[in-house]
Amino acid sequence: MRIGLLTGGGDSPAINGAIRAVVRRALSGGHLVTGFHKGWHGAIHDEFTELDESSVSGILPHGGTILGTSRTNPFKIDGAVDRINQTLAAHGISGLVSIGGDDTNGVSQKLSELGSVRCVGIPQTIDNDIPGTEFSIGFDSALNIVTEALDRLHTTASSHHRVLICEIMGRDAGWLALLGGLAGGADCILIPEREFRLEDVCTQLQDRRKREKHFSIIAIAEGAKPAMLDEQITQDESVDAFGHVKLGGIGQFLAKEIQERTGFETRTTVLGHLQRGGVPSAFDRVLATMFGVSAVELLEQGASGVMVVWQYGQVHSVPFAEALHSTRHVPDAFVRLASLFN
Ligand code: F6P
C-alpha cells in the first residue's frame, strides 16, 4: 500500500511524533509513505516528499511539523478536489492519513464519502475540542505551557500586588484555560462555555483583597465573552478558509474594565503562539505514537472514514461523523470544580 500523509490546521508540539509513528509502522508493514506539504495545499498542487526512515529520524522531540501546515480548504477552491484526486491517482495512493483538527479531518471525511480515497484521521489540536476523543495530540503540551506561564505570573503578581490576566487560546472551547487555570492555581477562570459579568469578576477581586490576598491571577480563554458584549472580541473582521474568526483582545478589554472599576493595577499577558511551540510533553509523544500506529493498522484492515480517538484509557476508532459533528465543550462538572477555587 502507498499511504498519503498530511498535517493541516494550527500546529502543536506533538505532530512530528505522529508522523514518525505513521512512517515507522507503515515501513515495517511493507508500505510506502508520501508526505504532502502544507496540508491540503500539497495534495492539490502535488507538492510532496517521499518519507523513509531517515526522514523521521530524530524528530520525536521537535515541535512543529516537518511537512508544514496550512488552513487550505479544497472545498472552497474551484477544481481543487479534482486535482487532489489526480494527485492521489498519480502516486497510486490507496490510503490517506490526515493529522489535524476538525477542519483538516472534515476534508478527509468528505473525500472518503465521495470515494476519492480511504481516509483515517488523527486528532491534533491544542484546543482539545474534537467530540470523539478525550485527548487530541498537542493539548497536553500546551497545557503544560499555560501552567508554567501562570506559575511565573504568580510570583510577579505577588511582588507588585497586581491583578494579572493571562489570555489563553482554545477558540470556542475552554479546555486549555480551565485545566490550565486549575493546574496553575488561577483565582478566576473565564471560559466561552459560561458568559461572565464584569461586576461579578470585580466583586471577586475585591473580596480577595479583603481577605488580605493582595494579588489575583485571572485565566481567560480567548473566546470568553462578557454578558455586556453581543459578540466575542476578535482581532479583525477576517475569517479563514473554514470560516473561523481570529479571536483575541479579551484580555486587554478585561484589564481596562477591572482597572477602571476597582482601581487595582491590572495587566494582561497574551500567551498566543507560545502555546503551540516547543518541546512536546511525554504524554503527547506517547499518544501521538499510539495514534500513528493505529491509523496505519486501520488502513491495513481496510477501514475508511474513521478517526483514531482516546477513550477510557485506550485507542479506539470512531466514524468521522461521530468525531466531528460539533465542538467538544467543557462540562459543567469542571466549571463547578474551578469555582471552588475562586
Ligand atoms: O485551533 C488552534 C488555535 O491555536 C486556536 O486556539 C486559535 O484561536 C487559533 O488556532 C489561532 O490561529 P492562527 O495560528 O491562525 O493565529
- Mean pLDDT for 23-28 is 98
Active-site annotation holder among 127, 140, 172, 187 = 127
Strand 188-190: give its sheet, edge to edge: 188-190, 216-221, 163-168, 266-270
Averaged pLDDT of the chain: 97
Instruction: Number of helices (H) and strands (E) in the chain: give both, helices first.
Output: 11, 13
- Mean pLDDT for 167-192 is 98
Q: For the beta carbon of residue 301, count every other beta carbon within 10 angstroms.
A: 8
- Mean pLDDT for 249-270 is 98
Share of the chain above pLDDT 70, in %: 100
Residue 36 CA to its chain's centroid (Å): 21
Which residue's alpha carbon is nearest to atom 3 within ligand 1?
A: 10
In the predicted model, is pLDDT for residue 216 greater than 90?
yes
Q: 127 in ligand 1 pocket by Cβ < 6 Å?
A: yes
Specify whether the CB–CB gap between 129 and 102 falls below 8 A: yes
Q: 247 in ligand 1 pocket by Cβ < 6 Å?
A: yes
Give the closest residue to 259 by CA, choosing from 164, 168, 341.
Answer: 164
Q: Tell me: the pLDDT tens digits for 97-120?
A: 999 999 999 999 999 999 999 999
Give the closest residue to 319 by CA, choosing from 114, 113, 18.
Answer: 113
Instruction: Please write down the HEC assignment for all residues of 81-97.
Output: HHHHHHHHHHHCEEEEE
The one-letter amino acid code at 2 reads R
* CA 327 to ligand 1 centroid distance, Å: 15
Q: 10 in ligand 1 pocket by Cβ < 6 Å?
A: yes
Q: 170 in ligand 1 pocket by Cβ < 6 Å?
A: yes
pTM for this predicted structure: 0.97
- Is 342 or 321 the better-scoring residue by pLDDT? 321
- Mean pLDDT for 239-251 is 96
Q: In this structure, what DSSP letter does residue 113 have? A: H
- Mean pLDDT for 182-200 is 97
Which residue's alpha carbon is nearest to atom 16 within ligand 1?
A: 246
Of 127, 179, 271, best ligand 1 pocket probe by most atoms within 8 Å of the beta carbon: 127
* CA 171 to ligand 1 centroid distance, Å: 7
Strand partners, 239: 245
In the predicted model, is pLDDT for residue 341 greater than 90?
no
Of 136, 240, 246, 275, best ligand 1 pocket probe by most atoms within 8 Å of the beta carbon: 246
Which residue's alpha carbon is nearest to atom 13 within ligand 1?
A: 10
In the predicted model, is pLDDT for residue 226 greater than 80?
yes
* CA 53 to ligand 1 centroid distance, Å: 31
Ordered alpha helix ranges (H), the chain:
15-28, 40-45, 80-91, 102-114, 139-160, 175-183, 198-210, 250-262, 282-300, 320-323, 332-339
What pLDDT is stored for residue 342 in this prediction? Answer: 76
174-180-183 Cα angle (round to 5):
140
Beta strand 216-221 with 163-168 is parallel
236 is an active site residue: no
Q: Tell me: the pLDDT tens digits for 49-76?
A: 999 999 999 999 999 999 999 999 999 9
What pLDDT is stored for residue 333 in this prediction? Answer: 95
Residues 6+ apart with CB under 8 A from 6: 35, 36, 39, 40, 42, 43, 67, 96, 97, 98, 99, 104
- In angstroms, rounded to a whole number, what is the distance separating the alpha carbons of residues 171 and 140? 16
- In angstroms, rounded to a whole number, what is the distance separating the alpha carbons of residues 148 and 7? 27
Residues 6+ apart with CB under 8 A from 36: 4, 5, 6, 42, 43, 47, 48, 67, 87
From the alpha carbon of 222, which atom of ligand 1 is closest?
8
Give the closest residue to 285 by CA, choosing from 18, 11, 3.
Answer: 18
Beta strand 216-221 with 188-190 is parallel
CA distances to 169, 204, 227 from 197, rounded to whole Å, are 20, 11, 6
Which residue's alpha carbon is nearest to atom 2 within ligand 1?
A: 10
What cell does 121 get? 484521521
Specify whether the CB–CB gap between 50 and 32 falls below 8 A: yes
Q: 276 in ligand 1 pocket by Cβ < 6 Å?
A: yes
- Total number of residues shown for the chain: 342
pLDDT band at 319 (very low <50, low <70, confident <90, very high): very high
